[in-house]
A and B are shown apart, each in its own frame.
Chain A
Amino acid sequence: MSVLADGAGLPGLSHVITWFNDPSNWWGSSGLLIRIREHLLYALIILLIAIVIALPLGLFVGHTGRGVVVVVGLANGLRAIPTLGLVIYLYLWLSTKITTTFAVPWLVDRGALASFVSVMIALVLLALPPILTSTYAGVQNVDPAARDAASGMGMTGAQVVRKVELPCALPLIMSGIRSAALQVIATVTVAAYLPFLGGLGRYIKDGAGDLNNTQTGYPAMVAAGLTVAILAVVVDALFNLLQRALVSPGLTGRIKRDSRRTTVDRIDAPAEANLISA
């Protein structure tokens, strides 16, 4: 890392190492650790809200086949909206409506409610499409024979969704939630554009005003960016573990089936959701 060329007049990337090595950048009320906590907390809340909205909706559309065109169109349309623009638009609009100084420890400072709500709405809209489309596609991909067998056994529609379609679609749903999580972690950085909000974007937004400062300028921006990338990699790995724990072994081929042994332990591809048919 240290031998890389400096950008035009920018402090070199070696300053990034120095930045990381300085304990004063880690601790304190606006240190890296607090910024990471804020970043992850924002991302977690956004992801949970998106799952609560998209999962039932996706299951409903996949199960009934109603509203497919609306959902697919909506998902594609949402993808085209730039999040930074939406965050700023919502803030300009909400900051005149929300004037309460309501605060939540660790999460919303006094006066930050309008900023906070704007970021939540904009990023939930960003996280919806991957979860929605993967849930819908996962349910659509469930082997019709499995679904028929379940109805034949006397299961009601709700039971079929809960006991057959949801578990069978789980690998695909999980990969949708995973890509939503990665997108949210990368994009929560825009929160720092609004007043009173934290997260790792704070370093990037604040550093852009004074690039050549070796303490708070370009080195801090790159350090924050690298931290976001590390968070993304860690979250990705956690999702791999979670997927192993949640997805039925019968779907992944991790258990022995008849004489032939299948050794697929990761499921990403839609086609593999059909392995249940064996």
Chain B
Amino acid sequence: MHEVWTYFTVHHSEIMGWLWTTVWLAGVPLVVGLLLALPIGWVASRYHWTYPPITSIAGLLYTIPSLVLFLVIPGILGTGILSPLNVAVALTGYTIALLVRTVADGLDSVSSDTMSAAAAMGYTGRQRLVAVQLPLAVPVIGAGLRVAAVSNVSLVSVASVIGVLQLGQLFVVGYDYNALAPTFLGLVLFVLLALAFDLVILGIVRVLTPWQRAVGRP
């Protein structure tokens, strides 16, 4: 344990750099993926005949191993193979694939009574979507986002196999120098990072759904 701490203090600046890269590589695709999944999910929920094709394409995308995308994307985009951009693009794809179904199911989960009540109160179609349906779907979408966040964080480390620099580099260093300390530190930091993402999303969902707490009170 002591060695792990010593390793961290000695290589502090390098590790923090990798940590931030990992935060960006996991976080930005999460936000971009959500923003892109919202309209696609809405289409799947609004026009029901599009639901099966959209969700099957998303499912197919998810079966492509991440390492394959990390390798093929530079060939398509013309980026260098070690560019973090490849990882970001691949993870955005996975996030969309995971969230499209969740968004559609979340929007569908809002009861038709609620929707009718909103219409009767004079909400137009778009107002009803933004002010009623979307907020009520937040808990379901949030649950999907938590899964995507944990999976993104752990997928970033896979990029170490081809040499993209991020927190997973601690595993490479550990292996190359036959040292347990950096490897253990890497495991701890990855788990803590996943936990941090999870807590942030939980917090945002909590702030966005005040009615859930109000109902819980006796």
Contact = CB atoms under 8 A, between A and B. Distances in A.
Interface of A: 4-10, 12-13, 76-77, 79-86, 88-89, 91-93, 182, 185-187, 189-190, 192-193, 201, 204-205, 208, 211, 218, 221-222, 225-226, 228-229, 232-233, 236
Contact of A81 (B75, B79, B175, B187): B187
Contacts of A221: 71, 162
A18 B105 CA distance: 44
Nearest to A5: B78
Interface stretch (B10-18, B33-41, B151-159): B151-159
Main secondary structure of the interface of B (DSSP, over half): helix
A23 to B, nearest CB: 23
Contact of B187 (A6, A89, A192, A205): A89
Q: Which of B80, B151, B154, B180 has the most CB of A within 10 A?
A: B154
B102 interface: no
Contact of B64 (A81, A83, A229): A229
Given A7-B80, A84-B157, A187-B158, 20 more contacts: A7-B74, A10-B81, A13-B75, A13-B76, A81-B191, A83-B158, A84-B160, A84-B161, A84-B171, A85-B171, A85-B183, A85-B190, A88-B183, A89-B184, A185-B65, A204-B71, A221-B162, A225-B71, A226-B72, A229-B64
A233 B194 CA distance: 29
B162 A88 contact: no
Q: Which of B179, B183, B184 has the most CB of A within 10 A?
A: B183
A13 to B, nearest CB: 4
Interface string B165-205: 00010110011001110011011001100110000000000
Q: Chain B interface: which size bin? A: 35 or more
B124 interface: no
B120 interface: no
Given A89-B174, A190-B158, A225 B72 contact: yes
B111 interface: no
Given A79-B151, A81-B154, A81-B187, A88 B64 contact: no
Given A5-B78, A7-B79, A76-B150, A82 B187 contact: yes
A225 B171 CA distance: 22
A85 B67 contact: no
A84 B175 CA distance: 11
A183 B99 CA distance: 18
Contact of B161 (A93, A193, A218): A193
Interface string B107-127: 000000000000000000000
Given A190-B158, A233-B63, A81 B190 contact: yes
23 contacts: A4-B76, A5-B75, A10-B75, A79-B150, A80-B195, A81-B154, A81-B191, A82-B186, A82-B190, A83-B158, A84-B158, A84-B168, A85-B157, A85-B171, A85-B190, A92-B175, A190-B158, A204-B161, A218-B75, A221-B162, A222-B68, A222-B71, A232-B64
B177 to A, nearest CB: 10
B21 interface: no
A73 to B, nearest CB: 12
A12 B161 contact: no
B67 A189 contact: yes
Nearest to A189: B67
A232 B59 CA distance: 12
Contact of B75 (A6, A205, A233): A6
Contacts of A86: 187
A80 B190 contact: yes
A12 B160 CA distance: 22
B78 A8 contact: yes
A158 B65 CA distance: 39
B180 A225 contact: no
B180 A208 contact: no
A8 B81 CA distance: 8
B178 A92 contact: yes
B180 to A, nearest CB: 5
B215 to A, nearest CB: 23
Nearest to B72: A222
Given A92-B174, A92-B179, A189 B161 contact: yes
A232 B65 contact: yes
Contact of B81 (A89, A211, A232, A236): A211
